[in-house]
Amino acid sequence: MKICLLGASGSIGKQTIDVINKFPKDFSLVAFSVGKRTRCISYILRKHPDVKHICIQNKAIANKYKKKYPNITFYSEEKGLLELIRNSDSEMVVNALVGFVGLLPSIEAIKCHKKLALANKESLVVGGDLINSLLKEYNGELYPIDSEHSALWKCLKVDSKDANKLILTASGGSFRKLSRKELENVTPSDALKHPTWRMGNKITIDSATMVNKAFEIIEAGYLFNYPYSKVGVTLHDESYLHSYVSLSSGGYRGEISKPDMRNPIRFALFEGKIPFKTSYFKSLDDLKGLHFHDFDIARFPAINFAKVVLDKKGTMGAILNRSNEEAVYAFLANKIRFLDIEKIITLSLKNMKYIAKPTLEEILEVDRLTKEYAHKLINELGGTL
């Protein structure tokens, strides 16, 4: 399988390369993209001589690499990501980009009849209906990389007819032991200390706010065609039970393994066609040594954002994603407080224009307008971008 990897220098990207390195007879890296961290390019090329196409975020830096590697075609900026997909002879695109920038590459991969292994949550949060429509139109294939959705995918392979509810597990993030009051003065450095996973900065903040879990509920809705009422959340300290399904016949089925993203990456790259193990249990009490807690929506109200998006769909996902994206980066830059992230999202969902059945162009426009509105709110809350 020839792989085009988007986001090779990020956490998921690096671990995807680890998987490709482990299975050289099954996978060949032929194209990849990087953002600002370009030092990894020479290392990747030494290990993967089949690479013929590379996209670099900065055009000037891309031009420098063109001179260094004349036998490789270089692209730049966001349009370069689409050209990379279009022009490489890859059979599968692994989308490990972070943020809204991942939407158009996901669409391009489907339109180019390439299999899509998806770690970019925003593709489905923003354009879930559009993505699903394109998958039908182009007879496309999408494989989730998130550990929670990979676990649900496996459980539904075993018990699709018996499953009546999907339950996502959540670590609770860096502040899971803090009260709402104690969250008022937390800092970005505090928020980046995740208890069980090592991830990029944005997703670590999203985990702390629980917006990440709201995104995952939305993803599950689009991936498995489940309404919000049929997707639950359980807090789980160790992150060993990645997610599970409730069975109509009684009991539950879940995937239990160490928190290592290479497992779901491997399962997606192999298109779910390799052996896997799930576990049946009558109750969470049967899982000795693991600790679970009931989910308190008053403590983690960001989960409500998922209900808004799945109930109304349309442009609500685009509004949620962009307002969150801008708020998170403002918080990381010490321009707003932690709880301001929720305020900015709530006001954006309330006040931004809603379109029930948007075109791609309308989604892009709503994204742009939401960015402007979020910046206005950030300035009012005391920051200056």
Residues 6+ apart with CB under 8 A from 382: 335, 336
Same domain, 134 and 238: no
Residues 153 and 287 placed together within one structural domain of the fold: yes
Are 206 and 332 part of one and the same domain? no
**Which of 293, 328, 360 marks a domain boundary?**
293
Q: Round to whole Å and give the CA distance between 107 and 104.
A: 5
Domain identity same for 133 and 161: no
In-domain check, residue 228: yes
Q: Are 130 and 185 in a shared domain?
A: no
* 249 domain residue, yes or no: yes
- Tokens 């300035």 map to which residue? 379
Question: Which two structure tokens, joined as six digits, stand for 2?
Answer: 């020839």
With b for 16 or more beta-carbon neighbours within 10 A and e for fewer, the 22-50 pattern comes to eeeeebbbbbbbbbeebeebeebbeebee
Q: Give residue-wise pLDDT tens across range 223-276.
A: 999 999 999 999 998 889 999 999 999 999 999 999 899 999 999 999 999 999
Whether residue 106 is predicted with pLDDT greater than 90 in this model: the reply is: yes
Q: How many CA atoms lie within 13 A of 230 on its CB side?
A: 16
Placement of tokens 């260094």 in the chain? 68
For residue 330, tell me if it sits in a domain: yes
* Angle between the N-to-C axes of helices 316-332 and 304-312, in degrees from 0 to 180, rounded to the nearest 10: 150
Same domain, 168 and 282: yes
Percent of the chain's residues with pLDDT above 90: 83
CATH number for the domain harbouring residue 360: 1.10.1740.10
On whether residue 299 sits in a domain, the answer given is: no
Residue 259: the pLDDT is: 87
* Judgement on whether residues 152 and 138 belong to the same structural domain of the protein: no
Does 260 lie in the same domain as 324? no
Report the chain's mean pLDDT, rounded to a whole number: 93
Separation between Cα atoms, residue 372 and residue 332, nearest integer Å: 18
174 and 284 share a domain? yes
Look up the pTM and report it: 0.92
105 lies in a domain?
Answer: yes
Of the pLDDT bands very low, low, confident and very high (cuts 50, 70, 90), residue 104 is very high
Does 216 reside within a domain?
A: yes
User: Rounded to an integer, what distance in angstroms lies between the CA atom of residue 317 and that of residue 323?
Assistant: 10
- The one-letter amino acid at 347: L
Asked if residue 366 has pLDDT above 80, the reply is yes
Question: Which residue, of 245, 264, 293, is where some domain finishes?
Answer: 293
Bridge partners for 227 per DSSP = none
Q: Alpha carbon of 105 to those of 54, 84, 258, 259, 296: distances in Å?
A: 14, 9, 31, 28, 36
pLDDT at residue 383 tops 60: no
Name the strand (E) or helix (H) holding 93. strand 92-95
If DSSP codes are grouped into helix, strand and coil, which group holds residue 126?
A: helix
Q: Which two tokens stand for residue 233?
A: 């959340």
Considering the domain boundaries, does residue 305 fall inside one? no
pLDDT of residue 178: 84
Range of the domain at 171: 147-293
Q: Which of 240, 229, 186, 238 is nearest to 209 (CA)?
A: 186
Domain boundary among 144, 170, 186: 144
Predicted local distance difference test score (pLDDT) of residue 172 = 79
| Strand 115-118 versus strand 28-34 pairing type | unpaired
| Residue from 39, 124, 128, 35 nearest 78 by CA | 35
Whether residue 130 is found in the same domain as residue 164? no
The CATH number assigned to the domain holding 105 equals 3.40.50.720
Residues listed for the chain: 385
How many structural domains comprise the chain?
A: 3
CA distances from 18 to 27, 29, 37 (A): 11, 11, 18
pLDDT at 385: 47
- What are 107-137's pLDDT values in tens digits? 999 999 999 999 999 999 999 999 999 999 9
Q: How confident is the model at residue 198 (pLDDT cuts 50, 70, 90)?
A: low
Shared-domain flag, residues 125 and 157: no
- Please indicate, yes or no, whether residues 14 and 122 belong to a single structural domain of this protein: yes
Task: Give the CA angle between residues 301, 122, 127 to the nearest 5°.
Answer: 105
Query: Rounded to an integer, what distance in angstroms lies between the CA atom of residue 270 and that of residue 1?
Result: 9
| 308 within domain boundaries | no
- Span of 166-175, 193-202, 348-357, 362-371 with lowest mean pLDDT: 193-202
